Structure 1
Amino acid sequence: MELANGVAAYAVTLITYLGLWWFGIFNPTIVYDHLGEIFSALIFGSFIFCIFLYIKGLVAPSSTDSGSSGNIIIDFYWGMELYPRIGKNFDIKVFTNCRFGMMSWAVLAVTYGIKQYETYGRVSDSMLINMILMLVYVTKFFWWEAGYWNTMDIAHDRAGFYICWGCLVWVPSVYTSPGMYLVNHPVNLGVQLAVYILVSGILSIFINYDCDRQRQEFRRTNGKALVWGKAPSKIHATYTTTSGETKSSLLLMSGWWGLSRHFHYVPEILAAFFWTLPALFNHFLPYFYVVFLTILLFDRAKRDDERCRSKYGKYWKLYCEKVPYRIIPGIY
């Protein structure tokens, strides 16, 4: 397990960035004014980086978890290694996913707010709500960083174009796009609507966090933690590893995880919707990320189900009978 020092690194990054602006050493509006050049450099540079990852996995893999499918396109897209490293301490996925991807999200959210302030002499309530919710979400991510090591991104998806290019390019450009739109399209929400959106967004982020916390605590206590004040319903599953070793695992069927097999995606999509909603419905562009995220998470839930079905067999079939809905309770 990696040292989860994300909160400290995140705090230092934001404080330094805001401090440089506050004391007039660096003006973040320069970043906004050169977004085209920055994103172009990221697109090209990250593509070269992914080629490097492919070659490294081919000739100098970091561990035995590397391997080829026999198809160069698939290997480049999905990756050759699960945990590629440079040297002993530089974890490439931690850098792309956490240090660059998530921190650039927060830095750009702040940048858009500063740019609007520098342009109009004030920050609109719509921009403020967008910025607060994005920063709360990213802060939640770093607070929960240790739990992230068990997610599909880290534990199962290899470091290839899909993950690394996505975190180096797609996250800073697309994930921040609602704020980017609001810079030159400020909306006056009024206090009442702004508070409704803010509270709904924070509640969604909290539920998303609580879903992950609930499962993490369940695993940490080997199924003995109370879930919503009661002993949890669970399935004792066994599976065989690729090396032929038999292991056991617990599948949680209580709390949020009793509502659907991937219920945590519901508040995540809602959170994205609520930090986009300050733009109201004046243009489709801010909502592209919400649509993309929904497609991404529905596909991820399907892939995760297929992986679990292959891993747990009859136990997963029983789990699906007990928790029949994949994402949206009562619907899907």
Structure 2
Amino acid sequence: MTSIERRKELNPKTTTYEFFGPFGALLITIGAPLVTYALYLTCSEESGGCPPNGLAMRTALQNMAQQGWWMSVWDTEAMLVYLGFYAFCVVAWAVLPGRIVEGVPLRTGGAKKYKINGLATFICALCIAIAVIAIRGPESFTFFYDHWIGIITATIFMSVLQSLACYLHSFLPSKLLALGGNTGNPIYDFFIGRELNPSIGSFDLKSFNELRPGLILWVLIDISMACAQATRRGGLAKVTDSMWLVVFFQVWYVGDSLYNESAVFTTIDIISDGLGFMLCFGCITWIPCTFSLQARYLVFAPLELGPVNTSLILLVNVTGYHIFRSANNEKNDFRNGGNTRNLKYIHTAQGSKLITSGWWGRSRHPNYLGDIIMAFAWSLPTGFNTPITYFYVTYFVILLIHRERRDDDKCAGKYGADWKTYKRIVPYRILPLVY
């Protein structure tokens, strides 16, 4: 077999589309950044609140138009700070110690090796932030709130730059392409991701973006929002219980994700999706700039919950976290060759096993249920004065339902009749007895 024939065998032409094909891909590529800006315009002091005041909103838009749309969202200082932060994440990956783990086998027969030190990077970033605040006070760490629209622009710039670079890089010889990203349509392939694992030496860009710059920046933004509230209210001791809840929940979630970093290498993002605009924008821009909406809202709309409401919201979050982490621990233990919980399973013709008991016997994606409950808990501290702060949980429900459908289609193609048998045993997708 010639090298050309070998490449064609490894990288077959993609014949099906997701997201309604090129039109849907183009719509999301243009629409997702606009939605990110819109969340700022519809929920900010500059626009008169959340939801916005009509007069203040018109004034803000008029000022932006007079300044020029591009100049109104461009902030050189924010760009330099963001690029410095991203460089810090790269340097930390390179210099901080970490163990090497092997990913799932590739179609080439080998497996990529990944360096695990995301938690060390996160702790390092937290220590720097805490040191700055301790030495110079909370007013020294309000940058992300003060330069918010510029930070959004900086992350979008990085998302587009990386997406374009990865798309062009995928045409170099001997690249392993994603099975879903080789349609030949540039709009769709740019969006969905053409190359499976764009890398520079041992530096794997996809897994790096998945867990580091977006998640860590999300936490730093939350801390910045808490500092902005503290500056207005007279010190960290005056920060509201609602703000502390949001910061605690999201710091814990990110820390937990990075502590369990190796689990990401068995997800659909790493195993089958290419690195295109969808993943670049999602990890680099969407996560830090939309998931932090609750903390940003509480800067200009502080809310004291009291001990009873705080305890109830804590209980909701703990419930979601218990389901999320217990389900993932069952799956990870089972996939790593253990079965300490004596889970039942079925064998497939491909030689793999599908769990049919424990959390995974209740639904096919119990971890998604835990994620949704936690997302709801993160929105509850903002109260019920506006639906906009519940954007995250609303979006997350839609995202996970769509993600579950994508996973179902892939598994149906992979396991065939065995997947039908599995679905008869575990009929519910996410929420037992309901969905």
In the superposition, the TM-score normalised over structure 2's length comes to 0.70
Deviations 1:248-306 (A, max 9, x none): 11100111101110111111011011011011111111111111111000000000011
| More displaced 10-residue stretch of structure 1: 212-221 or 18-27 | 18-27
* 8 Å CA contact retained: 2:159, 2:281: yes
Identity of aligned residues (%): 34
| Paired position in structure 1 for 2:240 | 124
Secondary structure of 2:354 counterpart: strand
* 8 Å CA contact retained: 1:125, 1:194: yes
Q: CA deviation at 1:63?
A: 4.1
| Paired position in structure 2 for 1:30 | 143
Amino acid at match of 2:254: V
Amino acid at match of 1:11: I
Secondary structure of 1:238 counterpart: coil
| Paired position in structure 2 for 1:12 | 124
* 8 Å CA contact retained: 1:266, 1:328: yes
Deviations 1:47-91 (A, max 9, x none): 1221111111123665465862111111101111111112x1221
* 8 Å CA contact retained: 2:170, 2:177: no
Amino acid at match of 1:331: V
Change in 2 beyond 3 A, CA 1:45/1:60: farther
Q: CA deviation at 1:198?
A: 1.5
Asked if 1:303 is matched to 2:303, the reply is no
Q: CA deviation at 1:151?
A: 0.9
Secondary structure of 1:116 counterpart: helix
Amino acid at match of 2:270: I
Amino acid at match of 1:20: V
Q: CA deviation at 1:166?
A: 1.2
**Structure 2: how far apart are the matches of 1:104 and 1:190?**
29
Q: Which runs of 5+ in 2 are unaligned?
A: 1-101, 103-113
| More displaced 10-residue stretch of structure 1: 40-49 or 253-262 | 40-49
Deviations 1:4-32 (A, max 9, x none): 21111111111112212221299220221
* 8 Å CA contact retained: 1:217, 1:225: yes
| Paired position in structure 2 for 1:161 | 277
| Paired position in structure 1 for 2:302 | 186
Change in 2 beyond 3 A, CA 1:184/1:61: farther
| More displaced 10-residue stretch of structure 1: 200-209 or 28-37 | 200-209
| Paired position in structure 2 for 1:199 | 315
**Structure 1: how far apart are the matches of 2:365 and 2:419?**
14
* 8 Å CA contact retained: 2:319, 2:373: no
Query: What is the correspondence of 1:216-231 to structure 2 with a 5 Å cutoff?
Result: 216-222=332-338, 224-226=339-341, 231=342
Query: What is the correspondence of 1:140-159 to structure 2 with a 5 Å cutoff?
Result: 140-159=256-275
Deviations 1:99-131 (A, max 9, x none): 111111111111111111111122101111111
| Paired position in structure 2 for 1:3 | 115
**Structure 1: how far apart are the matches of 2:404 and 2:186?**
26
Secondary structure of 1:275 counterpart: helix
Amino acid at match of 1:191: P
* 8 Å CA contact retained: 1:234, 1:253: yes
| Paired position in structure 1 for 2:393 | 290
Amino acid at match of 1:237: T
Change in 2 beyond 3 A, CA 1:36/1:218: same
Asked if 1:212 is matched to 2:323, the reply is no
| More displaced 10-residue stretch of structure 1: 97-106 or 298-307 | 97-106
Matched positions, count? 318
Q: CA deviation at 1:3?
A: 2.1
Amino acid at match of 1:154: I
In the superposition, the TM-score normalised over structure 1's length comes to 0.92
Change in 2 beyond 3 A, CA 1:71/1:64: closer
Q: CA deviation at 1:203?
A: 2.8
**RMSD over aligned Cα atoms:** 1.7
1:318 to 418, 421, 428: 421
1:109 to 198, 214, 222: 222
